[in-house]
A and B are shown apart, each in its own frame.
Chain A
Amino acid sequence: MHCVRKVTDDLYWVGANDHRTTLFENIHPIPTGVSYNAYLLLDEQSVLVDTVDWSACRQMMENVEHLLAGKPLDVLLINHMEPDHGASIEEILRRYPQVKIISTPKAFMLMRQFGFDIDGHELVEVREGDTYTFGTHTVTFVEAPMVHWPEAMVTFDVTDGVLFSADAFGSFNALDGKLFADEVDFDRDWLDEARRYLTNIVGKYGPHVQLLLKKAGGIMEQIKYICPLHGPVWRENFEYIVDKYDKWSRYEPEVSGVMIAYASMYGNTEGAAQALAAKLVEKGVRNLAVYDVSNTHVSYLISEAFKYSHIVLASVTYNLGIYPVMHNFLADMKALNLQNRKVALVENGSWACKSGDLMQKFLEEEMKGMTVINQRLSLASAMGEEKEDELEALANAIVDSIIEES
């Protein structure tokens, strides 16, 4: 059964929702699914803007065939070649042998690398600033390198103000019937997943997101719709999502508050983390979240680390090093370029406590702009009464630092 939605008079969403894939990119859990968005423009020529993951190919084909009503597809416009959007290109080429492909030179290279048989088709290589007319609609192309692949571009339909933004402004979560951001409670149901998507997939490339935002800023007046490749279409309140993107890509915290991430083997470090959380809330910190790194997928930890201004890392010492799961969290923060956070440390070790020094060294030497609060809670096996004062001092230091920042 086809399932399409109208974006404008002659533009349709022809994507699909996916609840069966458990791991996006085979790494990030998506318990609430994801949508692969493709769009079909019915101008004098018919234009399919991007495709979908192989697993959703059949649904997209039904949608496209329904709208084309027996006519062939004229143009395939590819903004981004990652297989969650590009995999179905192969099927489109088979069904529409006459289809013309418009994309960037690097995207054509990737199509060949992925083994798509494009060379029998008319290929139109486009670059920054080129325009193309399909009848009444004229589009212009804007390169978006490293958001988050090198071949990526975004396409702007100058006729009706639609920006096909590729992976920018995308989100996890299946659409499940909704299409527009104003049809959902974005803040409540979508923001966390949008952040988790952006920070984990594109987090490392903040400077390039900034570059794209700057380019978009130049045409902001003309933009009426933002059509990303995942998640809802934006047609109002652009400044809300642009502001979020601006913060995330500048590595600025969204919220003044504390994320506590603990690594505990037998609950002793956990106990200290919980005691610290209670103390912080008592002292007026309301934005606070606590995570057990062993039982929380790192993509959630990353998303929260991007959200909060302050991070507490509490880790046991393991094989004279940092507990492996905590170490992985640190490595992921570094890989995703997270910067400019205030970090407090809690360390635990029963015979040679090393985790605090090692975490501090990692934060200061491997990451950028991470300030380690000069107050640490050091535990030997467990948090006893004698550590009350140190705990109090640590909580005060964190609260002072929050006050100082705001």
Chain B
Amino acid sequence: MNFKTTQEHEALRAQIRAYAEAEIKPYAFQWDKENYFPRREVVDRLAEMGLMGIPFPTEYGGAGLDATSYAIAVEELSRVDGGAGVILSAHVSLGSWPIYAFGTQEQKEKYLVPLAKGEKIGAFGLTEPNAGSDAGGTETTAVLQGDHYILNGEKIFITNGGEADTYVVFAVTTPGIGTRGISAFIVEKGWEGFTFGEHYDKMGIRSSATAQLLFQDVKVPKENLLGKEGQGFKIAMATLDGGRIGIASQALGIAQGAYERAVEYAKERVQFDKPIAFQQSISFKIADMATKLRCARMLIYSAAELKEHHEPYGMESAMAKMYASDIALEVTNDALQIFGGSGYLKGMDVERMYRDAKITTIYEGTNEIQRVVIASHILGKEPKAQSAGGVKQSGAITGPRKKQIWKGGEVQEMVDALVDSLKQDGYDFTVGIPLDTPIARAERVVSAGKGIGEEENMILIEDVARAAGAAIGSSRPVAESLRYVPLDRYVGMSGQKFTGNLYIACGISGAVQHLKGIKDASTIVAINNNPNAPIFKHCDYGIVGDVAQVLPLLAQALDTGEKLPAPPMVKMKRATPKQEKPVYKTYVCGGCGYEYNPAQGDPDNDVLRGTQFENLPAEWVCPECAEAKDAFIQA
């Protein structure tokens, strides 16, 4: 090996660079400012150039080029705009590659071909609120019913979310056995029940779209299962191995762009009678930056080459991603430093690149996780600590709730049903507390979220609060950004905690920090027009409907005229959840009574958690008394 790219590689680089300089660079500032997704300018143009499927064979509509070519493409796009780079990277590495690697012939023809041709955009849905670095916390579920899996749950921080047409989504098909119960599915945009949350307002890479995916009883045809049931985690990990090459290239491109700007500027800027580039402090910086860039580039191309030759490359791609993104922060920081005060202004490329670089140490496996991956390749598996319980079951943030949701009916009927239920639970609406009772001491609170809309709608909240005998609260944005209520009235982990009885959330979607602030409420009522709002998963009663319609009727239904002063608060009873039976079966040894629990496996004999008894190897014996498998009976 000559440690050099080929002529073809460099020709491709020149082609993409020419395009990027001419068609992306002039607009990058504006896209960043406006959070603009450049579908026409980037996606369609790359498709025209045949570059949306660089590493896939031509028979599937790809360019049939190698992994290094793909790395160069992401690098060159990122060199002028980090957001453009990740559009391609998420599309190729995450949205398309798993279908190429694990899909059936039919799935490849149906989904990979239009993706590789650039007719469609791909995305990848793994991350969830409780499953970031630890995919074992996945809570999205897929339940097989006849010919379909019914998908429910949410995914967050999804690159290309909302813009993509095809999503590779991970969901739990066998609960209780951790990552071995996760499966992968191909889900199409537009299917009933599949919606998107708001576009995130990000620090950087603002020309790339990032959104939340919401699944509410989405019917996924059985044939859209990717790989086999239970292979999801394996597919996700294999995909991320390759994805790291893309992110490393993105980091490298961003850093390269910042470096070039800095060198140009250093040569032009004169202080103490000479260009600052020739001040030793700056020249040394530039030398260091260039060295780091070369190091990162070598790591990336070598990982790409290993991948191309089907050699193991998981550790090398992790090293490349970790190093390239770590130095991207250093290089963009130094570049901005070289620009001095000028670099700190909006409109300067280095200012944007400085922000764009940060995400690369975070997504597709944080750099901390990359170090875990690298170390595990070197050191092997950590000896297992004895775990007392089974697989951790993460419950709803607000604990067990009734989740009685009304939707699609007459608003008046839904409101009446709600008020009846509350009265049955023992709420007495002839008594009440002042609207300005401190949240922490309030027995009842009616809270407004962003869904309330214009400030004049706060009158609806006040009316309901008065009729319900409650104090007024809000979500954080309503107090902090919209300033409809004072800051001390927002409810949440970081704000006031509500520990009283009745909490009525109006137009509140239910961010985790908000939910943590109401987990001790006896009864949570949610009113929201988005049926997928997380609050509905955490409430006792919910009405899916427009607050502008629901609240006036609710105020009317609760109104009893002047309220009597409320007696001292009595904490109300909460629903008791049924202890669910574990889905796995345990087996008891006839030689000693030892119980084999699939949720724990048998660490002493290297049996992984999640291994069902019948899948234990035939030669496995009881770890306590060495009886054979046939001495066990089902518990």
Contacts and interface: CB of A to CB of B under 8 A. Distances in A.
Interface string A340-372: 000000000000000000000000111011111
A150 B568 CA distance: 61
Interface of B: 388-390, 399-400, 568, 570-579, 581-582, 588-593, 625, 627, 631, 633-635
Contacts of A393: 570-573
Interface string A188-213: 00000000000000001111100100
Contacts of B577: 371, 374
Interface of A: 145-146, 150, 204-208, 211, 364-366, 368-375, 386, 389-390, 393, 396-397, 401
Nearest to B579: A371
B579 A369 contact: yes
B553 to A, nearest CB: 31
Contacts, number: 66
B576 A371 contact: yes
Nearest to A210: B633
A366 B633 contact: no
A258 to B, nearest CB: 15
Contacts of B633: 207-208, 211
B389 A145 contact: no
A369 B635 CA distance: 13
Nearest to B634: A207
Contacts of A208: 588, 590, 593, 633
Contact of B590 (A145, A204, A386, A396): A145
Nearest to A342: B576
Sort A-B residue pairs by CB-CB distance and give the 6 closest, nearest first. Answer: A145-B590, A374-B576, A371-B579, A365-B389, A389-B570, A374-B574
Nearest to B580: A369
Q: Most A CB atoms within 10 A — which of B572, B589, B631, B635?
A: B635
A263 B85 CA distance: 65
Nearest to A393: B573
Nearest to A143: B590
Contact of B579 (A206, A370, A396): A370
B388 A366 contact: yes
Contact of B576 (A364, A365, A397): A397
A145 B591 contact: yes
Contacts of A397: 573, 576
Contacts of A386: 568
A397 B633 CA distance: 37
Given A371-B579, A374-B574, 14 more contacts: A145-B591, A150-B592, A204-B593, A207-B633, A207-B634, A369-B579, A371-B578, A374-B573, A386-B568, A389-B571, A390-B571, A393-B573, A396-B573, A401-B576
A401 B635 CA distance: 27
Given A366-B389, A389-B570, A146 B576 contact: no
A375 B635 contact: no
Contacts of A372: 576
A365 B388 contact: yes
B427 to A, nearest CB: 14
Q: Most A CB atoms within 10 A — which of B388, B573, B577, B581?
A: B573
Nearest to B587: A207
Given A211-B633, A390-B571, A150 B576 contact: no
Nearest to A378: B571
A204 B589 CA distance: 12
Contacts of A207: 588, 633-635
A251 to B, nearest CB: 11
A205 B579 contact: no
Contacts of B573: 374-375, 393, 396-397
A146 B588 CA distance: 10
A355 B410 CA distance: 47
Nearest to A396: B573
Contacts of A145: 590-591, 631
29 contacts: A145-B631, A146-B590, A146-B592, A150-B592, A150-B625, A150-B627, A205-B588, A205-B593, A206-B635, A208-B588, A208-B590, A208-B593, A364-B579, A365-B388, A365-B389, A365-B390, A369-B579, A371-B578, A371-B579, A373-B576, A374-B400, A374-B574, A374-B575, A374-B577, A375-B576, A390-B570, A390-B571, A393-B571, A401-B576
B290 to A, nearest CB: 55
A204 to B, nearest CB: 6
Contacts of A375: 573-574, 576
Q: Most A CB atoms within 10 A — which of B390, B570, B627, B631?
A: B570
A279 B588 CA distance: 42
A312 B578 CA distance: 17
Contacts of B576: 371-375, 397, 401
A372 B635 CA distance: 23
A368 B588 CA distance: 15
A390 B631 CA distance: 50
Nearest to A340: B579
Contacts of A368: 582
A401 B591 CA distance: 39
A389 B577 CA distance: 22
Nearest to B567: A389
A370 B579 CA distance: 7
Contacts of B575: 374
A146 B572 CA distance: 47
Contacts of A371: 576-579
Contacts of A389: 570-571
A207 B613 CA distance: 16
A31 B574 CA distance: 44
Nearest to A344: B576
A58 to B, nearest CB: 34
Q: Most B CB atoms within 10 A — which of A206, A207, A371, A396?
A: A207
Contacts of B592: 146, 150
A278 to B, nearest CB: 20
A374 B390 CA distance: 22
Nearest to B578: A371
Contacts of B593: 146, 204-205, 208
A204 B389 CA distance: 18
A26 B590 CA distance: 25
Contacts of B572: 393
B581 A369 contact: yes
Nearest to A388: B570
A150 B625 CA distance: 10
B467 to A, nearest CB: 25
A370 B581 CA distance: 10
Contacts of B568: 386
Contacts of B627: 150
A373 B574 CA distance: 9
Contacts of B625: 150
B572 to A, nearest CB: 8
B523 to A, nearest CB: 12
Contacts of B591: 145-146, 150
Contacts of B635: 206-207
A106 to B, nearest CB: 8
Nearest to B635: A207
Contacts of B588: 146, 205, 207-208
A86 to B, nearest CB: 18
Nearest to B399: A374
A205 B592 CA distance: 10
A150 B590 contact: yes
B622 to A, nearest CB: 11
Nearest to B570: A389
A371 B590 CA distance: 29
Nearest to B591: A150
B634 to A, nearest CB: 7
A376 to B, nearest CB: 10
Contacts of A370: 579
A372 B574 CA distance: 12
A365 B399 CA distance: 15
Contacts of A390: 570-571
Contacts of A364: 579
A150 B633 CA distance: 13
Nearest to A148: B593
Nearest to B389: A365
